[in-house]
Amino acid sequence: MLYNKRMQKLVLSSLLIISSLSLFTSCEPISEFTNSNLIISEIYFENEIYSDAIELSNISEENIDLSEYHLEIYRYNDSNPTYEIYLEGELAIDESYVIASSLASQESKNIAHMVSENYLNNGSYTIGLYKGNDLMDIIGKIGVNYDYAEGHSLVRKVDKLAGKNVFDPYDFIRYNPHNLSLLGNMDNTLSPEELLDGPKKDENYFTLPYSEDGFTGSGGIIKVSLDHNIDGDTTAFNYPYEILEMLDISNGHSMRYINVNTPESTRTVEPWGRQASKFTSQLINAHANELFVQSAAGGALKETYGRLLGFVWAGDTLVNYALVLNGYSTLHPDEFKNVSYKGISYYSFMYNAELKAKKEGLRVQGEVDPYWDYENNSPLPMN
């Protein structure tokens, strides 16, 4: 089901008032709302190299004269725009306006209202939306070579429909490229609550093999049982016989969770390491009869030390994701776009979760560990 941005308008109005008031009470440099009626709502990627199109949306209660607006595109570290695109026509209430690159696919051009040779963007070009000389919305950072897209389509969250003069990546969902269904409208595939709830097990992955060659993952999900807990990002499982035989391992072989890196808690101990280990073990133990592991399609099955690599499911919860969301882990940058839910890779779910944890300064993202002696750099007894 598509989650429509119109459903959030009343909620957003309240949030804008609250957020605007917070600007006067916070000393932290944050994005300021521009009260723009027109916003950048999507950067669409057909492939992982260049963006095919940009989508602008009317979030006001009246039609917009687009001739009052233009786009400025800044390449890499440039502080002056390399390309400019002047808009034309009128945009109705709740409608979107798509500008496609002259190099875009024909499918993208078919959706577009304008095709421009000046729309060039590799995901690191900063794009400013201007009304006259006033910056109304922005993607990227002027003067900074910042790869904000990393080969993803960026679609604005339905509860973040507001122009800002500073780019905030948390306002957008990173979708896998080549998803035309979201271009030219004001939809998401997930509500904000569903996005934070994390990915779910897609039944199609149960039909895929875990691996076909014993070296590379195929994205399949298999049921396992707990052998023993190790630390925050490693658990030892018992595996089906065919997996043991294919990978030449024994039951009790450890699995390192993909995309996460929790603080140490075994041979050495680091702040938040023991809590991360406890969090993982409690989640695993609570779903001891519903444990699954999933290989990364196209990714290695083992890491340097011989441990298996995988995504771990405890019931309906992706443990890798839960660790990042709750601030027990930082995000490791390897991404496998072929392992996804609702068009969003597991990595992109975790990317969004880490942004949230950073904003909240949660645990490893800025919080002081109450069970750590920072003066002597040593652990304190835990309750």
pLDDT recorded at residue 21: 36
Query: Could you give the CA distance from residue 38 to residue 43 in angstroms, rounded to a whole number?
Result: 15
Q: Express each pLDDT in 100-142 by its tens digit.
A: 999 999 999 999 999 999 999 999 999 999 999 999 999 999 9
Per DSSP bridges, beta strands 114-116 and 96-101 are parallel
Which helix (H) or strand (E) segment is 15 a member of? Answer: helix 9-22
Query: Region 175-200: what's the mean pLDDT?
Result: 95
DSSP secondary structure, 318-331, as one string: EHHHHHHHTTS-EE
Q: How confident is the model at residue 20 (pLDDT cuts 50, 70, 90)?
A: very low
pLDDT recorded at residue 1: 60
Q: Express each pLDDT in 261-277 by its tens digit.
A: 999 999 999 999 999 99
- Cα–Cα distances (Å) from 93 to 5, 55, 85, 86, in that order, read 12, 15, 22, 20
Six-digit token string for 242: 């065919």
**Domains, the chain, ordered by start:** 3-190 (2.60.40.1260), 203-373 (2.40.50.90)
With 60 as the cut, is the pLDDT of residue 14 above it?
Answer: no
Q: How confident is the model at residue 24 (pLDDT cuts 50, 70, 90)?
A: very low
Instruction: Provide the CA 248 distance to its chain's centre, in angstroms.
Output: 35
With 90 as the cut, is the pLDDT of residue 8 above it?
Answer: no
pLDDT recorded at residue 13: 47
pLDDT recorded at residue 258: 97
Nearest to 67 by CA among 43, 82, 81, 85: 85
With 60 as the cut, is the pLDDT of residue 29 above it?
Answer: no
Higher-confidence position of 166 and 8: 166
Six-digit token string for 219: 């994205």
pLDDT recorded at residue 179: 93
With b for 16 or more beta-carbon neighbours within 10 A and e for fewer, the 76-103 pattern comes to eeeeebebebebeeebeebbbbbbbbee
Query: Could you give the CA distance from residue 99 to residue 196 in angstroms, rounded to a whole number?
Result: 30
Q: Name the pTM for this structure.
A: 0.93
Six-digit token string for 172: 């957008």
DSSP collapsed to 3 states, 68-116: HEEEEEECCCCCCCCEEEECCCEECCCCEEEEEECCCCHHHHHHCCEEE
Query: Region 231-237: what's the mean pLDDT?
Result: 98
With b for 16 or more beta-carbon neighbours within 10 A and e for fewer, the 134-153 pattern comes to ebbbbbbebeeebebbbbbb
pLDDT recorded at residue 30: 59
Largest CA distance in the chain: 68
Q: How confident is the model at residue 28 (pLDDT cuts 50, 70, 90)?
A: very low
Six-digit token string for 29: 């440099």
pLDDT recorded at residue 333: 87
With 90 as the cut, is the pLDDT of residue 373 above it?
Answer: yes
Query: Could you give the CA distance from residue 32 to residue 30 in angstroms, rounded to a whole number?
Result: 6
Mean of per-residue pLDDT scores for the chain = 93
Sign of CA dihedral 44, 47, 50, 52: negative
Amino acid letter, 267: R
Q: How confident is the model at residue 229 (pLDDT cuts 50, 70, 90)?
A: very high
Q: Express each pLDDT in 268-313 by its tens digit.
A: 999 999 999 999 999 999 999 999 999 999 999 999 999 999 999 9
pLDDT recorded at residue 201: 96
